[in-house]
Structure 1
Amino acid sequence: MESTGGQVAYSHGGFSLDSTGAGAVSRGFDTFRHGWQTQVGGAFPLPAFSQATTGDFRVRSRVAKVRDVAITDLDSASVIRTAGTPYGYADQARMYVVRRGTWTLGGAPDRAEHTVSAGQFLLRHGRPLHFGAAPHTTVQIITLPAAAFEPRLRNQSITASADSAEMRLLLAHTNMVHATVTDLGPAGVVAAHGALIELAKAVAAGRFDDTEPGLRPALNRAAKGLADRHLADPELSPAMLARELNVSVRTLQRAFTEAGESVSSYIRHRRLDEARRALTAQSRLPSVAELAAHWQFSDSSHFIRAFKKRYGQTPFEYARSAGTTGS
């Protein structure tokens, strides 16, 4: 959505595209360009793309714009390559976060000046560059106002690992923006934009201001994502999450308390959720003792009590009501 007059400060928009299916390839690039023009707008001009790219645009993409920040996720099954240098980016910086494959940028289509490999990011301000990638590349491109990084970044680049605590927080927030951008009201736009800028600055500086209350939703989301990947890990705890995210346990607890729960409660509830799925989704029904051990409950009795408190039934009763047999 494009806003005018006094509403410019609250402009936002977004769209998603999957042109990997056989019927969508022929119109994939046109659909992407239309979405970009209507939802992102002229403040973020698209470059000219190569004929190979426009003719075979097989990508999964989602794009979000919040004021003067644009977030573009690309998961490409085809070549992505520009054919002309983009214009209009003099006052913008770009961050390329590569999850799979390799992203290249150069002053000419055949001369790479920067190569960003999987697990790395490049934050760059300067003259526009061609860019491209081979098939099976996954990248997030965040376009930001250059003023947020001055004077540190003027006409310079920063390349580093994308596995830092600061980057985890930024990516958690960009995922949240993608999920909510079309529903944001004016206050939400301001909050989402402010957090994007502050988290991007934290990535550039290599440190996160954990006293900034506006960043707590991003911290909450990043911690949940990290916890979800380690639910079966006996070391999972508030202290472990705080250590991985480079914040104090108190700061982490505060981010969860504002959302109406504690870190420990979130971990326990997610482990119970996974145990409940195992009671109905597996071909071999696990025993209560196996579930308790796998999901890090101290013993079967503790697991049964916690399960009944959350779901109103014992594991055996739940499995029986779901049409399976209990242990």
Structure 2
Amino acid sequence: MIKNILVAPLNWGLGHATRCIPIIRELENNGFTPIIASDGNALELLKKEFPHLNSLELPSYNIQYAKKSKNFKWQLIKNSPKTIKAILSEKKIVEKWILELNLSGIISDNRLGVHSKKIPSVILTHQLNVLSGKTTWISSKMHQFFIKKFAECWIPDVDNYPNLSGKLGHLRNTKMNLKHIGVLSRLEKKELPIKYKLMIILSGPEPQRTLLEEKLIHELENYKEDIVFIKGVVENNQTIEKIKNIIFYNFMQTKQLEKTFNESELVICRSGYTTIMDLARLEKKAFFIPTPGQYEQEYLAKKHKREGLVPYSKQNDFKLDDILAVDLYAGLRKIKSETNWKELFILFESE
């Protein structure tokens, strides 16, 4: 009997979509038929990775960043009516899809309306606590309210120390049905000759993605070593442009990205959680530039610097000489974790 599982990542940067790639692969390996649902760049990326799978569009949360970090929280509050409307809308759509697509289960990566009491529904998140400055208690309780609507919550991390998510993905006391499923990454470490001194990989909502791209290009003007620069803009076709010692790509799919990571000595990137999982799997040295005003990325950057793993700089303060500090840090290490997919997928086996 075919068991269709809806996999629906949030379109906020590319991290939610890319960490669903190993889940989609494992669903197929275990005899399930994944159906992809998202919007924007996240949907386009997964359609390119899995052209043979059915893909559907969900309403956009219309997440936008402010140009100034101090306005980040207020921009999200301003956008919240649109976000709430999208959550209510996607809930209605999912109820319709359950019948039309004969769904046996749902895996939602931070899409808060993609769940149902009619079939087993899982939320994938590393944010049990949602940092928002002075309002962290409120934002965390609100997120936990939505998490409780799902049958299970899968956290892509280990439940012990050392771990990658810190206080984001760990609660001391809770009655929620939480499962730490291990570190998720679509990438594998390979021993390849180093081709690039620097690898720069960007993602995330505008306008901050473009602002960082422009700043980095300016800082790299006098850098002489070979650089690969992945802009994180998913378009219909891949574009490649070489300017002096820098080769630019608009985006890369998994196989090419894995090869490029392994051929690069140092990675400059955001401190997004999915990127951190990838770097840990690859055991790479990195330099973080957290998205201005995004408390989660700022916390993760500080955490990994404090542990002696990765240095970081604020976006406005970044100078190319800052990367010299990388030699003083250990780099991200592989976290020992095993994901028991058969055990996790038992949830979807009930008739």
Higher-helix-fraction structure: 1
TM-score above 0.5, yes or no? no
* Structure-2-length-normalised TM-score: 0.25
Give 1 or 2 for the bigger CA radius of gyration: 1
Structure with the larger RCO, 1 or 2 (CA within 8 Å, 6+ apart): 2
Give me the TM-score of the superposition, normalised by structure 1. 0.26
Higher share of residues assigned strand: 1
